[in-house]
């Protein structure tokens, strides 16, 4: 059986990640500003350990960025590039490489904020460009799935629903913040969505061959989960913010 290069890379990275997690757990959790502010509801909040570990694992990249004096925009536009690449790879059926592009785009998204804070470059421009490019990146990947899943009767519809829900979740929060109500509640936030997309990109082909199912079957299920989770989260945020506004207005 021919080993796919992308899958070989995945096995190597997973082995290194497991070893790194063991080292991190043995030395004791390290406090990280980004980890404390990001948090996650993934696995009922148990994903917080993984968030702290992952940001700790990025420490060498922090140092490299400092030595090379890389700017936040370098990572912003690197993330945009990897997002476009992921959509292209997924669209042509190269899901494993699409998963790696999504992962690299996610790392770029994390690094732009870390570099900005480390170098004292935080600004309204940075917040705007980061949030806006994040939407482009996620849209590229999910549009790739819209095309990839065209052989399934409801594939494009489900992928489009996941795309719509993924855009509505941050939109509801942004509109709430614009009127003075902050709502971060809900499952299926961006970190969880990207993690699920990466995992299904890496595993879809393997599962299809093992179970004798068409390629894309696992992706279809995961995108359905993302669609339901994001639309439910967007609806919850809309109702929650609306209730707070009515209370504030005395109605």
- Catalytically annotated residues: 134
Residue 130, token pair as written in the block: 């980061």
Give 215: exposed, middle or buried? Use CB within 10 Å, 0-12, 13-18, 19+. Answer: middle
Contacts 24+ apart (CB under 8 A), 176-185: 176/237, 176/241, 179/241, 179/245, 180/248, 181/241, 181/244, 181/245, 181/248, 183/237, 183/240, 183/241, 183/244, 185/233, 185/236, 185/237, 185/240
Whether 104 and 6 have beta carbons less than 8 Å apart is answered as no
Give 250: exposed, middle or buried? Use CB within 10 Å, 0-12, 13-18, 19+. Answer: exposed
- 134, 135, 116: which is closest to 126 by C-alpha? 116
- 142, 170, 140, 138: which is closest to 155 by C-alpha? 142
Give 159: exposed, middle or buried? Use CB within 10 Å, 0-12, 13-18, 19+. Answer: buried
């Amino acid at each position: 059986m021919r080993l796919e290069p992308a899958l070989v890379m995945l096995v190597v990275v997973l082995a290194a990640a497991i070893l790194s997690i063991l080292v991190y757990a043995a030395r004791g959790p390290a406090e990280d500003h980004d980890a404390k502010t990001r948090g996650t509801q993934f696995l009922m909040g148990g994903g917080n350990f993984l968030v702290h570990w992952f940001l700790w694992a990025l420490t060498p990249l922090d140092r490299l960025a400092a030595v090379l004096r890389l700017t936040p925009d370098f990572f912003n536009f690197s993330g945009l590039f990897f997002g476009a690449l992921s959509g292209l790879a997924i669209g042509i059926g190269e899901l494993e490489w699409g998963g790696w592009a999504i992962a690299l785009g996610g790392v770029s998204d994390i690094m732009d904020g870390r570099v900005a804070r480390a170098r004292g470059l935080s600004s309204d421009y940075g917040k705007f460009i980061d949030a806006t490019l994040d939407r482009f990146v996620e849209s590229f990947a999910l549009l790739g799935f819209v095309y990839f899943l065209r052989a399934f009767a409801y594939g494009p519809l489900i992928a489009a629903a996941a795309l719509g829900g993924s855009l509505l979740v941050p939109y509801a929060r942004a509109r709430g913040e614009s009127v003075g109500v902050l709502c971060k509640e809900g499952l299926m936030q961006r970190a969880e969505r990207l993690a699920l997309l990466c995992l299904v990109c890496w595993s879809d082909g393997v599962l299809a061959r093992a179970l004798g199912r068409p390629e894309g079957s696992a992706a279809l299920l995961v995108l359905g989960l993302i669609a339901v989770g994001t639309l439910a989260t967007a609806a919850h945020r809309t109702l929650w913010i609306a209730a707070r506004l009515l209370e504030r207005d005395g109605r």
